[in-house]
Chain A
Amino acid sequence: AQTVTQSQPEMSVQEAETVTLSCTYDTSESDYYLFWYKQPPSRQMILVIRQEAYKQQNATENRFSVNFQKAAKSFSLKISDSQLGDAAMYFCAFQFGKGGSEKLVFGKGTKLTVNP
């Protein structure tokens, strides 16, 4: 079974600084997708960034970027120029790429605090 591990239950960062959230996963598949979702106190699940496993280039969305290491099965999220609005729970998730169920498998999350 696929598993997703987020080893940092909590992280904090100073406003305007950079923080990296860790995620590792375990799968025997070669075709899959990886995601980072943000869940603020309002409880919405907001897609932050998405990476296709077949792409070697790391995905980037404005201040958010990933470091995807396929061989190491590592998928970390870097937040640059942190803002107060970035404070939230961050969940890493895995999804099969083709056929069958397209369910998401989530990690337990990292709570990010942004200090002014």
Chain B
Amino acid sequence: NAGVMQNPRHLVRRRGQEARLRCSPMKGHSHVYWYRQLPEEGLKFMVYLQKENIIDESGMPKERFSAEFPKEGPSILRIQQVVRGDSAAYFCASSPMQGSNQPQHFGDGTRLSIL
């Protein structure tokens, strides 16, 4: 049973480019969470999605960042016009349905580097 799959593992972009990070949840999981980890920091919540719905985006920056979890395919975290401060590790986690009393399972993260 495959775990949470994130790709790419490493992503390098130049300032002003777009970054797309992908996350496939564990089989049977319908909830996806995105977290960002800046150097020497803990993980900070960004957004919580179900299939075709954003449940909580209170941690998402107001501009340049967006997330989706379509009916088919992986969840995508999209960062437009990247800046140096976007350099971080981005983690995806998944869980079964809401209130399922199951812990979140994390992917290995995508390390985004901005040149």
Contacts and interface: CB of A to CB of B under 8 A. Distances in A.
Specify whether A and B are partners: yes
Interface of A: 4, 33, 35, 37, 42-47, 50, 91, 98-109
Interface of B: 31, 33, 35, 41-45, 48, 55-56, 58-59, 89, 91, 93, 95, 98-99, 103-106, 108-109, 111
Given A102-B33, A104-B45, A106-B42, 7 more contacts: A43-B108, A44-B108, A45-B93, A91-B42, A101-B55, A105-B45, A106-B44
A45 B93 CA distance: 10
A42 B107 CA distance: 12
Contact of B43 (A33, A100, A106): A106
Nearest to A99: B99
B41 A102 contact: no
Contacts of B56: 100-101, 103
A108 B41 contact: yes
A45 B91 contact: yes
Contact of A45 (B43, B44, B45, B98): B43
| B42, B44, B45, B106: most-surrounded residue (chain A CB, <10 A) | B42
Given A103-B45, A106-B43, A106-B44, A45 B58 contact: no
B106 A44 contact: yes
Q: Is the interface of A mostly helix, strand, loop or mixed?
A: loop
Given A44-B106, A45-B106, A47-B103, A104 B43 contact: yes
